[in-house]
Amino acid sequence: MSKVITHSLFTDFDIDLFKAGKHYRLYEKLGAHLIEIDGVKGVYFAVWAPTAHSVSVVGDFNYWTQGEHLLQVRWDSSGIWEGFIPLIEKGATYKYKIQSNNDGIVTEKADPFAFYCEQPPNTASIVWDLDHKWSDSKWMKSRQDHNGLDKPYSVYEVHLGSWKRHGEENRFLTYLEFAEDLVAYVKETGFTHVEFMPIMEYPYDPSWGYQLVGYFAPTSRFGNPQEFMMLVDKLHQAGIGVILDWVPSHFPDDAHGLGFFDGSNLFEHPDRRKGYHPDWKSLVFNYGRNEVRSFLISNALFWLQHYHADGLRVDAVASMLYLDYSRKDGEWEPNIYGGRENLDTISFLKEFNEAVYLNYEGVQTIAEESTSFPMVSRPTSVGGLGFGMKWMMGWMHDTLEYFQKDTVYRKYHQNELTFSMTYTFSENFMLPLSHDEVVYGKKSIAGRMPGDEWQKFANLRLLYGYMFTHPGTKLLFMGSEFGQSGEWNFESSLDWHLLQFPFHEGVKKLITDLNALYKSEPALYEKQFSPEGFEWINYSDHQNAVFSFIRKGNKPKDDLIIVCNFTQVVRPNYRIGLPKKGKLKEIFNSDATIYAGSGVGNTGKLAIESSPYDGRDYSIELLLAPLSVNVFKIS
């Protein structure tokens, strides 16, 4: 095997950007790159290891022998080791053997910038390329029309390892199989976007992908990088957006990973009070180190550039923002102003969002942030963190708490539902019913509903109808769309057999129709983040556990009237006030027989009366179905 040849892909400007934390395309320089020099093909390797005494590339091409292929450190104090090894081909496996200046510590690490990794439990990196002939140009040119904040945004959250498995052997589907089955299913049910729980390479299945090792590599569990590109391509061709979960909050301490990379705290913060996460027993990035910021922002832009992702949902933002997160007194140190906010994190998140929105049109960043930290989804120019949207965790907890109550007690708790409207427009909120709500003894969403089987499914349909008519975008975890009975199990397929039963098939039909309603009615999305898009009719009828409101679009003719009945009691002659005269037509009823409901509803066009009610000049009497959402339109 040929020896290492001196070569560099870095310019002086690259190094200056890297040191300043402003190099957002590091993946084009660091890592393993198939190139040709003087007619000889091979691989250029580059790795950041500033405390290393020596760095060897070891792999199947040199029998994993240390010292056979030594990289050379750059002269510019960047800490980058590099070199070109001739004749290595695509598919070669490799690692970096790093001997540190710190007491001669030796580490053997996977490449932080590898495009492909061995399938766990194997841990080597694989030389690979990013070639793919994309066929989604139509989507990419017009995706602003799908991803804008004034567009319908209904997300199907998917864990690829357990959406569907194959046969008795319970094997994973491949990316190419997902490109057929998943794409067809999402198109059928009408979701506008898919959100993949982390697909970057991770070593431990029970982490669900939230403890990453290969930040630039889609997991090899389901195929190679080009096959994942094909899945994204097919989704786009079907008119479906792709959101990727992104985890800059922490990483595992596996021996081949980022931790203690070159014998020093290179990626993680050296102060354990900031560099170790007690909940997940994982390491926390050093957000104040320029080179680490370049690594993370480069990673975010990488998935937008090379995998055509339409958005990044950033995991565990709250854990990043607070120095005392999950820490007791004495286990954290206040910032320079005496506060608990992590100033380095705040600066990093602002820079990340600015870089994303500056470089890519028509994308969204979404924060999973569970506290009341202000202005998460407001522009950095006005002091916000710069995210496009934020998960509405308060709505999720209050709503699920309410729906678990027996209907006889709901009249005492109506404020748990109406409270969300006091802060709904303080952020650009996404309403999530996510994977976190169907594990660890919480039961499935359907399993939380009270009453007999009929009431359970009526409650479930009511919950989804309320969710889709409430201001904000939507997210639903897989299986919830057909009323999965049991908790999510990451080791097996969803319970698809349940769709043979009318109640489950009815919920799936309901979700399909709610997605269609959301996309077809501008009042549900044009002003979903504006107080101008919502108006209460009556929120105080606690005794009957009923409330009613108006959703508004840009044109008054698009306004919708929504009435929710949260008990199983049919309400005949239920009067509500209305803003104008005309005819009222029911366009959606969650109790319809096509959803396995009882079929109670309002047929035909109903005349609005000049009879004052609810502080309005006009009103109408309606027939409210049990445990239902009714949506009406005035003509």
The residues assigned a catalytic role are 315, 368
Compute the CA torsion angle 596, 600, 605, 608 (nearest 10 deg): -130
Q: Backbone phi, then psi, for 124, in 5-degree steps?
A: -80, 155
Specify whether the CB–CB gap between 116 and 224 falls below 8 A.
yes
Instruction: Give the largest Cα separation in the chain, rounded.
Output: 91
Torsion of CA 206, 210, 215, 217, to 10 degrees: 50
Alpha-carbon distance of 381 to 31, in angstroms, equals 34
Residue 493: CA count within 13 A, CB half-sphere: 14
Closest CA to 254 of 302, 214, 309: 214
Residue 203 phi, psi dihedral angles, 5° rounding: -85, -25
Shortest CA distance to 114 belongs to which of 106, 123, 105? 123
Compute the Cα dihedral for 389, 391, 395, 400 and give only its sign.
positive
Q: Cα(26)–Cα(40) distance, rounded to whole angstroms?
A: 24
Q: With helix as H, strand as E and coil as C, how does 276-309 read?
A: EECCCCEECECCCCHHHHHHHHHHHHHHHHHCCC
What the block records as the tokens of 403 is: 């729906």
131-159 in b/e burial notation, b at 16+ Cβ within 10 A?
ebeeebeebeeebeebbebebbbbbbbbb
CA distances from 31 to 17, 114, 118, 212, 327 (A): 17, 6, 16, 17, 36
Of 309, 283, 279, which Cα lies nearest the Cα of 370? 279
The two structure tokens encoding residue 182: 């998943």
Task: Calculate ∠ Cα 313-272-98, nearest 5°.
Answer: 85
Any idea of the CA torsion for 506, 507, 508, 514, to the nearest 10 degrees?
Answer: 110
Task: List alpha helices for 373-501, DSSP H.
Answer: 393-403, 415-418, 453-469
In sequence order, what DSSP letters do the residues of 519-567 get, joined into one string? HH-GGGTTTTTSGGGEEEEEEEETTTTEEEEEE--SSGGG-EEEEEE-S
Query: Would you call 61 exposed, middle or buried from its count of C-beta atoms within 10 A (0-12, 13-18, 19+)?
Result: buried
DSSP per position, 365-398: EEE---S--TTTTS-GGGTS---SEEE-HHHHHH
Beta bridge partner(s), residue 560? 551, 633
Integer Cα distance of 86 and 2 in angstroms: 6
Q: Whose structure tokens read 């060897």?
A: 56
Question: Tokens 């359970």 map to which residue?
Answer: 456
